[in-house]
Structures are given as structure tokens and as C-alpha cells.
Amino acid sequence: GLCSGTISLGFTEKLKSWLSWSWTYVCVVWFGMVLIMIYVLWSPLKLQETLTSVFLNTLTPKFYVALTGTSSLISGLILIFEWWYFRKYGTSFIEQVSVSHLRPLLGGVESNSTTGLFSSVNGEAEPRPSVSECKVWRNPLNLFRGAEYNRYTWVTGKEPLTYYDMNLSAQDHQTFFTGDTHQLRPEDAVMQKAWRERNPQARIRAAYQAIEMNHECAAAYVLLAEEEATTITEAERLFKKALGFGKDCALITGKDVNLLVYIKRRLAMCARKLGFSHLLTSLQLMKEFPLLGMLNIHENLLEALLELQAYADVQAVLAKYDDISLPKSATICYTSALLKARAVSDKFSPEAASRRGLSTAEMNAVEAIHRAVEFNPHVPKYLLEMKSLILPPEHILKRGDSEAVAYAFFHLQHWKRAEGALNLLHCTWEGTFRIIPYPLEKGHLFYPYPGCTETADRELLPSFHEVSVYPKKELPFFILFTAGLCSFTAMLAMLTHQFPELMGVFAKAFFSTLFAPLGFFADKMESFMLPSFWHQLTPI
């Protein structure tokens, strides 16, 4: 059976090879016959004179105006469609159709677009990361839905959160607030259903239902603080009530530790937003629950310490978390760059630096900025206010535009407070791209920049926000071609309409030049052919 299968497979391959060869042979024969036909009919039918008289003498200038104008209109419509398709999908429609449909018909092999974009150290090509490899993280500094996100919606009428983002939060709450015991209490079952509700009012009603079952249901008060409270003060009051019930529950049953950590963290954020002096609750939280580093509580701590301008404490936290074995973030990289830039930025001058060169401290600051920009290249435009900020999402993609929005939203004021820091960033951040190979075969200090960030960021960020894309996509050839064709034909239509006689002279010269090589070839072929052969073909 194996031998017969191998024989049939070999026969199929031979048949395909023979068909491919015969198709090529038929095309060559057909093309040769067309050339012979043109040669045979060139002199008897006076094709050159016929073409010249039809195109140049019979048709009026109005026809040429209509012809070039229609060509310009059609190419303009194709250009608009190509541009829209490129803006939405990031590729050319004509190129995509030709690669996916025409190339297999012509016997071509579809190339792997990811090959060569990323390569390993030994030079072997590695596939570009897929979307599934782009892990989405909970934003450590996410805002309050009722007191902040909903107020934005009331004022602007725009939804700052996407359904994908809110669905991720619902999944987080279901898993994070599930108790250690397998036996759920009735109010816990109601709250699990409440987190899954898509309608905010349904979630709030379910929270009140859980409170009716047990007035000490801490998770219900957390939901009300997050979504029903319209001010930070009201949210803080509800969180404090939830904290009291959560402590009692934890002391009695030893469960709901995650819920307790979440409540303390949000209380610390309430204190930060209200301007209270006890901003270091997150530090106490880290001491109480050191194993919860996965929650990135240190990012809350870094932002609070920067607000207090406790730069020595900031450096101490960075020394602990900016380690080669730990995952990086924009907060860690850019805070490190801010501290080093702050030491030299007040006296930094681009002109003076170009004359005398960079000092050691300035070089360290520039290298820190390059390191931060390589990790997340989207942040500088927000810090330099070259791009408008929006409310940060509840989840972020590290090294993506969503992380850049979340970082700049809270840390822009800290950069502004350090005199000259933004000036140093403005002068040096673009130099990063001269260090990194293009198109990003490998990184300089980090792994190659992942190619899945744009897709994930479009899911996390609202539709009214223009997602920042890196590396910048080059315009496809067909957009440039259709733009040139549209402009050229429009110019011809205008010139033909304004100067018909002059354009007629140019058209005659153009067609004469165009047909000259063909006439020269025909004359040469006729001189080589025997006169008797020509006379035999003439009656035919």
C-alpha cells in the first residue's frame, strides 16, 4: 500500500511538472505567433499609418480630454480605496490580492512575510511573535469607573473603555476575588454573576442583592465603590467599609486575601488622588504581602514617591526592581531615565554639548533615555505633548501604545517638574532609532520589538484614539503608483483642454517615437526575409 501510494504521488508530481512546462511552452508559442502576425500584417495593412491616423487625426481633442480625465478619475478612486484599506488593515489591497490569488495561479510559491524580520544570534530566521504571545497586563494605576471613566463619558459622550478591556477586567475580578474554599456562599455566587454582567446597572443591582443576603459582603462594596460612586471621596468611604468587613472575614476564615490586598491598594490610590500625605500605603502593602509582586504594586509606589519628590527612595525601589532577571516596564525604564536626566538637565545645552562633548553624567542620562525609548518608543511623543493624551485603559500591553498612554498620563507632571528633563528628552530620544537595526532584526538592549502590539492596542484603546504604530509603516508601491498615475493623467487632461494644438504636436511626436523601434525591427526582418517568401505570404 505504501509503495502504491508513493508511485501515485510521484505520478501526480510528474503530471503537475509536465502541465507547468507545457503551459510555459504554450505561452511562448502564442507570443511568437502574435509577433509573426504583426510582422506579416505590418506592410499590407499599413498598421503604422492606420494607428497614427486613428489616434492622431481621426479623434478630436475632446476625446483625449475625456480619455485622460476618465483615467484620472478611475485612478483617483483606486487611490482613495487603497489609502483607506492601508489605514485600516496596514497593507495594500492590490498587493494582497496579487500575492494570495495570482501568485498560486502563476506557479509561484507564497513567501513567508515574517522571514528576515527577526533573526537569532546565529543568523537563523525566527518567526515574528504572534498576537497570543503579547501578554496583556492589568494597569496598576487604572482609574475608577464611576468617579472618572463615567464622568468622561457624561462630558464628552465618548466611551473611554473598550468592551474587550472591560471583559478582561471582569475575568480578573472573577478569578482574583474567588475564595480559597470550594463551597461558595450565596452572596459569592451572586457576585461572580455580577462581575460577568455587561450592563453596569445590572452589576450594581447584583451588588445590592448580595448585600441584602449578607450586609458584610466586602466584594459587593468594592463593586459599588468602583462603579456607582461618582466621586473619589464616596469611593474611599465604600472601600473603607469593605476593608472593615474584609479584615473580619480574613481573620475568621483566613480567605479573601486577594480581596483585602485589592481594597488596600485602591484606598492608597484614593489617598493619592485626594492629595493626602499618607501616600505610602502601597509600601506598607508590599511589606505585608511581599509575594504579590505580580500585581506590580511597586509602580504605584514609584509614582507616589515621585509625587513626594523622594528621589532617594525612588532610586532604592529601582535598585530592587530594575534587575536583569525581572520583567521591565515603561515605568521602570523611564523613571530610571528621569532620575539620571534630572541630575544634568538643568544645565544641559545642545550647543555646548556639541562643542565640548558629553560629560560622563550626561552620557549616562542619554544612554538611559535610549534604553527607555528602545523598550517603549511610543512614550516620548506623549511626554513632549506631540500627541494628545487620553484616559488610560484598564489593561496595558507592555512596549505598546496602551502602556505609553498609561505611563504618560500619570508621569508627565513628574517630567515637567524636573527642570530641563523634557528638553534633554527632546534632543536625544530620536537618536535611539539609529542604534537599533532596521527593520528590527534584533534589538540593542532588549529583545526585538514585537510585531503584535498594534493589533492588541487597537483592541485595548478606544476607536477615537489614533494608535501609535512602530516601526512606521512605509506606503505600499501601489499607493504611490496610483497617486502618480492620477496626477499625471489629470495634468494631461488639463493641458489637452487648454492647449489642444500644442498637445497634438506632442502626441504625434510621442507616438512616432513609440512606434519607431517596432518599425525599425520590421524593416530589419523584411531585409533578412527572402522576397519569394514575402510574395507567397501576400496572397494569404
Q: Helix (H, G, I), strand (E, B), or coil: what is residue 396?
A: strand
Query: Rounded to the nearest 5°, which phi and psi values hold at 126?
Result: -120, 145
What is residue 414's predicted lDDT score, i.e. its pLDDT? Answer: 94
Question: Distance between CA 523 and CA 42 in Å, rounded?
Answer: 10
Report the Cα–Cα distance between both ends of the chain, in Å, rounded.
59
DSSP lists the bridge partners of residue 415 as none
Matching residue, cell 486577594: 258
Cα(256)–Cα(247) distance, integer angstroms: 9
Please state, in angstroms and rounded to a whole number, the distance separating the CA atoms of residues 304 and 175.
28
Q: In sequence order, which ranges of 53-180 are alpha helices (DSSP H)?
A: 61-89, 93-97, 103-105, 150-156, 163-176
Q: How far is CA 225 from the centre of its chain?
A: 34
Instruction: Provide the pLDDT for residue 244.
Output: 82
How long a stretch of residues is the chain?
540
Q: What share of the chain is helix, strand, coil (3-state, %, to 5)?
A: 70, 0, 30
Per-residue model confidence (pLDDT) at position 435: 81
pLDDT in tens, the chain (540 residues): 434 444 454 566 666 666 666 666 676 777 777 767 666 555 554 555 555 555 555 656 777 777 777 888 888 888 788 777 777 666 677 777 766 655 555 554 444 333 333 333 333 333 444 444 578 889 988 999 989 999 999 999 899 999 999 989 888 888 777 655 556 778 878 888 888 888 889 989 998 998 888 888 888 899 999 999 999 999 999 998 888 877 665 454 445 677 888 888 888 888 888 876 455 555 555 555 555 555 678 888 888 888 888 899 889 888 888 776 667 889 999 999 999 999 888 887 777 777 777 788 889 999 999 999 999 999 999 999 999 999 999 999 999 999 999 999 999 999 999 888 999 999 888 888 888 776 566 677 778 888 778 888 989 999 899 888 887 666 666 777 777 877 888 887 788 777 877 777 777 777 677 767 766 666 666 666 555 555 555 555
For residues 257 and 291, give the distance between their C-alpha atoms in angstroms, rounded to a whole number.
12
Instruction: State which amino acid sits at residue 65.
Output: V
What's this model's pTM, rounded to 2 decimal places?
Answer: 0.66
Q: What three-state secondary structure class fits 411?
A: helix
